[in-house]
Structure 1
Amino acid sequence: MPLLPTQDFQGQTLVRVGDADNFMLLAPQHGGRLVRWVHRGEDILYWPDNADWSRPAKVRGGNPLLFPFIGRHFVDSVAGQWRDRQGTLRTLAQHGFARDLPFDVTAIDAAGSVTMTLRDSVQTRPGYPYAFVFDAVYALLPDGLEVTLRTTNTGDQSLPCYPGHHFYFALPHAQRAASTLALPPADRVRQLPDGTPGPGDAGEPAYRLDDPRLQDTYHVFRGGAGAMLSMPGRTISFELDVAGSVPWHAVTTWSESEQSDFYCVEPWVGLPDAIHHGQGLRWLAPGQSESAVCRLRVTA
């Protein structure tokens, strides 16, 4: 691997990919986190000025990678647990372990793309007893960004997974009422206290971002997948029906509070607790590899 292009940011040495006006700053050592994505000189993602780098997995910002499972899991209404096919009880943190572990940079083009890789280890096997390679491939596009989450089963037993994203988009909270999210036909679903998906309500074609129905809500696609986030001065289109990609099951909408200067739109391959209820659950045979690909297009 050649010497990595880097930039100092908040006292950290981050990997830099791109040019002066279109670039990414990434922290492979901190969960493969995309920290900044600058498009035409403007930050697309939110990152706090006072980020606590002693606990980067807890920082609200950038794009944490969610693997092997997204969301919260429950056994007998106890969060943080799941049961495997043999009936063994396993402990797994919310959104999995990828955002807490260091990735290796396994390929890089300083002008436009980087591949970061996480492999199974003594840290992953107690809660997830499978051999895997998980690659996150970020590639700058002339009008946006393409991200590929590629999972490969390197073991001798079938592997369950349903990865996802947690994009924190920069949006001053005062602009939420002037911002909208448009969706294809989808049902609004929330997780019940026992972990199962609640009954779905028919979704609407578009919502204002100050609509309380969006908070911590899964928008489960009925057919085609996608989304369009429109904010003052910027529109971000999510292309989720990409050739060669596994299906995206839903996007989730969330923000920490009404005063937060970010808004999260998160493409997910499955729903939380899918290992138990099956909605979006993927099983990879030994030697199998599959990718979840999304493209974000930015227009003014």
Structure 2
Amino acid sequence: MPLSPEQDILEIDLDNSVLRFSPQAGGRLLSWTIDGEEVIHWPEHADWSVPARIRGGNPLLFPFLGRHRVDGKIGYWRDARGAVRELPMHGFARDLPFDAHADVHGAGLRMVLTDSDATRAAYPFGFRFEAAYTLADARTLDVTLTTTNTGDTPLPYYAGHHFYFTLPHTQRGQTTIELPRTERCHQQDDGSISAAEPGEPSYALDETRILDRFHCLTSAPERPVRLVAPGIGRVITIDLRRPGSVPWYAVTTWTEKPESDFYCVEPWLGLPDAIHNGRGLRWLEPGKTETAALRITVETTR
């Protein structure tokens, strides 16, 4: 994997399962390989000049995710008092350095972002945002996002993941995603969320109706999300029912181009523009903490 000399890359290794991170580049999980096979995609030629735009790894989406807008202008939000503030798409976390703390008792890493002069103009709240990754075993990855309100006013947020799973583009038609009960919608050109359509229990990844779509969970998920890729002999399970976790709101499916050798499956706590439309917007009282947890398991089928 090509690395920038300006980035400190940390590795977690357990029984030939290797996680690579760049805490200084947005607290980013760069890649996950098992027995030398890539599970989380990282591009061969990554442009480190703008790490947030690299198509790979798992960019962290905080404090808001997706596109928010005011009067048609993307990248702005209006607070309860009417003040308009500029905040980039998917928030600022993926652009900022995190402090890294290795787990001395196991195969894990915690990365922490706190409010600073770099965040307060866009988001005038005191916070502590932590992403923790732990290899429970060589094929099982636990991931938690923990948000704490360190300020003295209620804190609005809706965080999420942007996992780039490795998948040759020629395999999309043979690969399916299985979902619990959902309703399918998308963000329209004016920023509003479309009317919901009944979700299907499974889709092929070459179906255009799931490109850049939000699969909103209509109840506590009765089964995990599964990415079944027989062409590469792999099943990826994403369990969103972890103990102590706040409920996930939606799973987003997206890829960039017909020839992109990745497909993104993104658990989100809310929908784009939730700060205005309320779809998944969470309010955290001063001194309170919430954790959103999931578990990814990789099974080889050949």
**Structure-1-length-normalised TM-score:** 0.95
Query: What is the CA distance between 1:36 and its match in structure 2?
Result: 1.3
CA distance change for structure 1 residues 144 and 79 in 2, over 3 Å: closer, same or farther?
same
1:12-161 equivalences in 2 (<5 Å): 12-19=7-14, 21-109=16-104, 111-142=106-137, 143-161=139-157
Separation (CA, whole Å) in 2 of partners of 1:223 and 1:109:
37
Q: What is the match of residue 3 of structure 1?
A: none
Query: What is the CA distance between 1:256 and its match in structure 2?
Result: 0.4
For residues 8-35 of structure 1, the C-alpha deviation after alignment (integer angstroms, 9 at most, x for no partner) is 9454430111235112110000000101
Query: What is the CA distance between 1:57 and its match in structure 2?
Result: 1.0
Identity percentage of aligned residues? 50
- The answer to whether 1:168 aligns with 2:133 is no
Q: What is the match of residue 227 of structure 1?
A: 225
Q: Secondary structure at the match of 2:275?
A: helix
CA distance change for structure 1 residues 103 and 140 in 2, over 3 Å: closer, same or farther?
same
1:231-270 equivalences in 2 (<5 Å): 231=229, 232=231, 233-270=233-270
Name the amino acid aligned to 1:38.
T
**Structure-2-length-normalised TM-score:** 0.94
Aligned residues of 1:45 and 1:61 also touching (Cα < 8 A): yes
Separation (CA, whole Å) in 1 of partners of 2:173 and 2:103:
40
Q: Secondary structure at the match of 1:237?
A: strand
Q: Secondary structure at the match of 1:124?
A: helix
- Structure 1 unaligned segments of length 5 or more: list them: 1-6
User: Which segment is superposed worse, 72-81 or 124-133?
Assistant: 72-81
- Structure 2 unaligned segments of length 5 or more: list them: none
Q: Secondary structure at the match of 1:44?
A: strand
Q: What is the match of residue 293 of structure 2?
A: 293
Name the amino acid aligned to 2:129.
F
Name the amino acid aligned to 1:254.
W
Q: Secondary structure at the match of 1:96?
A: coil
User: Which segment is superposed worse, 133-142 or 39-48?
Assistant: 39-48
Separation (CA, whole Å) in 1 of partners of 2:197 and 2:258:
23
Query: What is the CA distance between 1:224 and its match in structure 2?
Result: 2.6
Aligned residues of 2:2 and 2:44 also touching (Cα < 8 A): no
CA RMSD, 1 decimal: 1.5
Aligned residues of 1:72 and 1:95 also touching (Cα < 8 A): yes
Aligned residues of 1:23 and 1:140 also touching (Cα < 8 A): no
1:188-199 equivalences in 2 (<5 Å): 188-199=184-195
Q: Secondary structure at the match of 2:9?
A: strand
- The answer to whether 1:275 aligns with 2:275 is yes
Name the amino acid aligned to 1:162.
Y
Name the amino acid aligned to 1:265.
V
Query: What is the CA distance between 1:144 and its match in structure 2?
Result: 1.5
For residues 66-96 of structure 1, the C-alpha deviation after alignment (integer angstroms, 9 at most, x for no partner) is 0001100011222111111111111110000
